[in-house]
Amino acid sequence: MSNRTVPLRRRTSLLQDPSDRKPPTINDLRVKECYICRDEERYDDPAANRREWVHPCKCKLIAHQSCLKSFVTTGPANRRKCPQCGFEYQIQSSLAFLSSSLFFRIGDTIFQTMGMSFLATSAVGLATFTAVSVVTVGTGYGAIAVREYFGPGLFDLLLTDEPTNWHAGHFIFLFLTPLRLVSPVMNLGTFTPFFFLWPSIPPHSVREQLTAESSRLDGIFPTTPSTKQKWPPGLKSFGFMVAGTSMLYQRVFARFSEWVLGMKQPEPRGLFRGLTFRREFRRQEGPDGAEQEAVLQVQREAPEEPDTPFANLNGVTQYPNISIMIGLLKPFIASGMGHLLYLGAQHSSTLRLVLGIRRFGDITPLYISPKLVPELSDNIWYWKYYTATAVHEMDPVWIRNSIGLGIFIVMKDCLHLFHLWLTKRELASRRLKNRDFSGVDLNELDLIHPVSNSRSS
Amino acid sequence: MTSISSRRLAKELMEIKNEGCPVGINLVQADDFSTWLFTIEVMGESLYQNEKFTLQFRFDQQYPISSPAVQFVVTEGRQAPVHPHVYSNGHICASILGNEWSPVLSVIAVCVTLQSMLASCKEKHRPVDNDRYVKHAPENPKKTRFHYDDDTV
């Protein structure tokens, strides 16, 4: 056709070539039909009925802006192109820079991370709070238990109610106390470590308080300390005695109960019961594998038999919830028994000797301190000496509490054993009840002295 | 202001009434704008000669933005055609009913497409997973995520 190179706009002639005109747009159509809603709009429609139209692609399809927008934004992602010509729709908006603006994206990221870290921190905080409250409760209970068991005198002097005065080891053991008390092993072992944990000098606040109080007293030099008597023993030696006694008791009582019940008791550690049995089997598998197998078979059957009856017995008589309760009450049981022993000691001098009780009277203060020399209040060795003397002079509550708790444990175990023994006897004596043959036709039975039919006497 | 779906369906219905349906397709029922029924037959030499099937269309408020729910009717003695893309409960696995639906299509267009799908079938058999699908199929075929692999069948 024509190969004009003159730019279009320079043409000023009235007869313009139609091919030079700008291509028509959507507004040049006479009738517009939206391919989505199939509504039609004529070019001469009144202005009230007009809507916004768009021709978004290369083919002839056109649509209302609103119809096309709702089509493109809903459903699967492949709706972004024209269904007829495949041209990808191009979306434009004002303020398009918002979505890609660095400023806003940085701001959003910052807030996002802050939000996430806040969430994580609160989760951690909540977990810590729970853990701390559990620990606090456990430690508080432990402190009460120890105070009951060892007597308020010793506790107030060397540990006090203020946790700031405690050392790290104290915290750990005090917290572990309630857990160890409820564990299935019933013995004195829970309090044994505490015999070794007492600090050798009172904490700072107590020292200050004692110094302040004693300044009202006359300053007297300490007299030569009274010779350390063999009995009552100091805290540490008593602790060893308690530990030794409890281990010995466990062995002895296990043997005793075996003898009484006539059956081998499995290890009292419930969780490990199965494991110990298997270990014993393996030990019996000697070098002679084949021969030992036969023996092993028999042995495997035999030990299992007593296991089930004992488990049955134990299951019948043991109540796990009660043992938890008893475990937690142990310190109070101990102090109760100790008090009983104290009352008993008022009437018996042997008991007094054993329990190491020296003074009596309802108005006895919990402990009587030795006279304090205020001038020496900065000397550590003096304080050690002071503490040792004070503890020695103190009423040894822990001795009678330990002994009382021991007695209680022995009684409880014996009672339990008695219950088991009775149950065993009851189980062994079970038999089916015997009845006579009334109601059965006597002629059918093969009796030694047959009954005649004629009923003649 | 009637919704976009009812206006569009009214228009389609008017077109059908004025121009009639293509050969082999017949409108059975279109009383409302929610469910329409058609019968389709495959003309000429095909595996489905002399078989007439009933097709059900269900529209929601978003039609034509959202596709209609289309299935063969299998109640009252009617059967679904035995075709590798048609399950025995009447559900159809066709891309134009799923991710390739667009408002450019219409009810008649769908009928014609399904008609040609039946006509071009080479072998009459049910889909491979027919029994498993029918056991756990939802009531509305649009709820199923069909996997469109072979469009040539």
Mind listing the pLDDT tens digit for each residue in B95-141?
A: 899 888 889 999 999 999 999 999 998 899 999 999 999 999 899 99
Q: Model-level pTM? A: 0.48
Residues A405, A314 share a domain: yes
- What domains lie within chain B, and their CATH numbers? 3-143 (3.10.110.10)
Q: How far is CA A87 from CA A79, A122, B53, in A?
A: 11, 51, 37
Contact: B104, A35; criterion CB under 8 Å: yes
pLDDT of residue A344: 82
Average pLDDT for residues A131-149, to the nearest whole number?
Answer: 87
CA distance B29 to chain A (A): 22
Domain with residue A70: its CATH number is 3.30.40
Residue A269 has a pLDDT of 44
> Among A108-122, A124-138, A141-155, B114-128, where is mean pLDDT lowest?
A141-155
The reported pLDDT for the residue numbered B19 is: 92
Average pLDDT, chain A: 72
Among the listed residues A355, A404, A393, A403, the one whose alpha carbon sits nearest the alpha carbon of residue A154: A393
Shared domain for A386 and A435, answered yes or no, is: no
Residue A45 sits in the same domain as residue A60: yes
pLDDT band at A99 (very low <50, low <70, confident <90, very high): low
Chain B CB within 8 Å of residue A70 CB: yes
d(CA A225, CA A209): 23
pLDDT band, very low/low/confident/very high, at A13 (cuts 50, 70, 90): low
pLDDT at position A198: 74
Domain of A140 in residue numbering reads as 102-269+309-428
**Residue A77: pLDDT band with limits 50, 70, 90:** low
Q: Do A257 and A329 fall within a single domain?
A: yes
The fraction of chain A above a pLDDT of 90, given in percent, is: 5
In chain A, the number of structural domains is: 2
Round to whole Å and give the CA distance between A292 and A279.
15
- Mean of pLDDT values over A244-267: 78
Among the partner-chain residues B66, B100, B103, the one whose CB lies closest to the CB of A35 is: B103
pLDDT at position A457 is: 44
In which residue are the tokens 């009252």 written? Answer: B76
Q: Are residues A321 and A392 in the same domain?
A: yes
Residue A373's pLDDT band (cuts 50, 70, 90): low
Least confident of A74-78, A210-214, A341-345, A365-369: A365-369
Is the model more confident about A368 or about B61? B61
Residue A297 domain-assigned? no
In this prediction, residue A16 carries a pLDDT of 54
Q: Which of A62-71, A138-147, A218-227 has the lowest mean pLDDT?
A: A218-227
Q: Which two tokens stand for residue A289?
A: 């594998």
Catalytic annotation on B93?
Answer: yes
Q: Report the residue from A37, A39, A75 with minimal CB separation from B66.
A: A75
Residue A106 φ/ψ, nearest 5 degrees: -65, -45
Check residue A283 and give its pLDDT.
40
Do A112 and A255 fall into the same domain? yes
In terms of CA atoms, which chain A residue is nearest residue B64? A36
Query: In whole angstroms, what is the distance from residue A285 CA to residue A304 CA?
Result: 17
Confidence at A305, pLDDT banded by 50, 70, 90: very low
Does one domain contain both A112 and A170? yes
Within 13 Å of residue A374, how many CA atoms lie on the same side as its CB?
12
